[in-house]
Amino acid sequence: MPVYEYSALDRAGRKKSGIIDADSPVTARQKLRSSGIFPVEMKESLSASKEQASSSFSGSFLIKRVKPAELSASTRQISILIGAGVTLVESLDALTRQVANPVLKKILVQVKESVNQGNSLAFSLSQHPKVFSPIYINMVRAGEASGSLDLVLDRLAEFSERQVALTGRLKAALAYPVLMSIIGFLVLFSLIVFIVPNITKIFSEMNQILPLPTLLLINASNFLKSFWWILVLCLACGVFLMKKAIMRPKGRAIWDRMKLSSPIMGTLTTKIAVARFSRTLGTLLQNGVPLLSALEIVRNIVNNSLIGKVIDDAIEEIRTGKALAASLGRSRWFPPVALQMISVGEQSGELENMLNRVADIYEREVESQTLAMTSMLEPIMILVMGLVVGFVVISILLPIFEMNQMIR
């Protein structure tokens, strides 16, 4: 159904603006007049569903516009409204008027209209897969089936807030090293390309053999000054070809294996995947989603094809009557501590709570390991920059020392 943006006046002559969904502009004007609002200007706005389907660029733009923090805040607000006894349609209407993000506002208008036509909330949300993830939709479906939608939405908001907070802490920890790396690279590049040639110009005019470090410095400076664009082009082509390779199943499997097996990042990647697996599976099970359905959902969000294959094998073994911990234990990617805790949870009937504890443990370890790695990066970057600057200084001073010895 089309969505219209309008500017209007109320009965007191005050200006109002907003959006409304209707079959046509005439119907939209009639809806507004029946509510005591008199439209002055009205234009059709591109619907969220059309934005998602129009092109891949618009789909990626939509993902950027609707931030996870905005979605979790909206989920929290609607859970409070439903818990207070407000109907679902009225809650969506109130949330639509409050949301500032225009893309999310349009999506909520369409969701409200779909619910008003008799569709379930889960079905209405599933029409916007670029914004609402499978875990979001399935938890809402479980909440509607159990009659506890407000509690499920509250847990879903808490789950989203945890993920946003963890991502924010990781980004904050990596921001400083990344910024320092960029600044250091630019400083060294400027030093070698713009400053070194002016200093070494006098050496090139001398009729004497220059030391090897000085020759290397002069050649590197000349190459970067003349052919820096080749390096940029090679880097861009390398990134492009890597992305194309990762999009293929075989290339994706190789890339995921490298991430899990690398000596430094492998442990961190494994912990992130286990924490995401445990948190998502525990949250789904808490809200009434069956184990096999929950595992199929988790398989799509672990963001690693090797661990996804482990989950697929576990699903097949669970169908034959085996336990979750035993099925996951056939892989070397799940740590023994996590498997032991999952096994205890299965035996005690507290699998959901135990999965959440596993997630708590590994989320804390991810955060502490990230902070430790970033603290090590700072002295390493300083050391590398010091070595490069020291090489430049020595390369410049060596010919000067040789000239002094010749004069003496």
For residue range 46-90, what is the model confidence (pLDDT) as tens digits? 444 444 444 333 343 344 478 888 888 888 898 898 888 888 888
Instruction: Check whether 14 has a pLDDT greater than 50.
Output: yes
The per-residue pLDDT of the chain, averaged, comes to: 82
- For range 275-284, the mean pLDDT: 87
**Nearest partner of 188 among 221, 227, 219, judged by Cα:** 221
The predicted structure's pLDDT at residue 21:
66
Residue 172 confidence class, pLDDT cut points 50, 70, 90: confident
The predicted structure's pLDDT at residue 54:
41
Do 265 and 363 form a contact (C-beta atoms < 8 A)? no
The predicted structure's pLDDT at residue 341:
94
The predicted structure's pLDDT at residue 236:
93
- For range 195-222, the mean pLDDT: 79
Percent of the chain topping pLDDT 70? 89
The predicted structure's pLDDT at residue 31:
77
d(CA 212, CA 214): 5
Put simply, whether the predicted model's pTM sits higher than 0.75 gets the answer: no
The predicted structure's pLDDT at residue 337:
92
Question: What would the 3-class secondary structure string for the chain be?
Answer: CCEEEEEEEECCCCEEEEEEECCCHHHHHHHHHHCCEEEEEEEEECCHHHHHHHCHHHHHHHHHHCCHHHHHHHHHHHHHHHHCCCCHHHHHHHHHHHCCCHHHHHHHHHHHHHHHCCCCHHHHHHCCCCCCCHHHHHHHHHHHHHCCHHHHHHHHHHHHHHHHHHHHHHHHHHHHHHHHHHHHHHHHHHHHHHHHHHHHHHHHCCCCCCCHHHHHHHHHHHHHHHHHHHHHHHHHHHHHHHHHHHHCHHHHHHHHHHHHHCCCHHHHHHHHHHHHHHHHHHHHHHCCCCHHHHHHHHHCCCCCHHHHHHHHHHHHHHHCCCCHHHHHCCCCCCCHHHHHHHHHHHHHCCHHHHHHHHHHHHHHHHHHHHHHHHHHHHHHHHHHHHHHHHHHHHHHHHHHHHHHHHHC
The distance of Cα 95 from the centroid of its chain, to the nearest Å, equals 25
Q: What is the layout of strands, in order, in the sheet containing 15-21?
A: 15-21, 3-10, 37-45
Residue 2 confidence class, pLDDT cut points 50, 70, 90: low
pLDDT digits (tens, 9 = 90+) for 320-353: 989 999 999 888 889 999 999 999 999 998 999 9
Strand partners, 8: 16, 39
Residue 204 confidence class, pLDDT cut points 50, 70, 90: low
The predicted structure's pLDDT at residue 406:
61
Instruction: Check whether 168 has a pLDDT greater than 50.
Output: yes
d(CA 91, CA 77): 9
Kindly list the distances between the CA atom of residue 295 and the CA atoms of 9, 74, 253, 313, in Å, as whole numbers in the listed order. 52, 26, 20, 11
pLDDT digits (tens, 9 = 90+) for 301-319: 777 888 989 999 999 999 9
pLDDT digits (tens, 9 = 90+) for 110-121: 888 888 888 889
Report phi then psi at 23, rounded to 5: -70, -30
**Nearest partner of 5 among 44, 40, 55, 58, judged by Cα:** 44
d(CA 29, CA 37): 9
Residue 369 confidence class, pLDDT cut points 50, 70, 90: confident
- For range 140-157, the mean pLDDT: 81
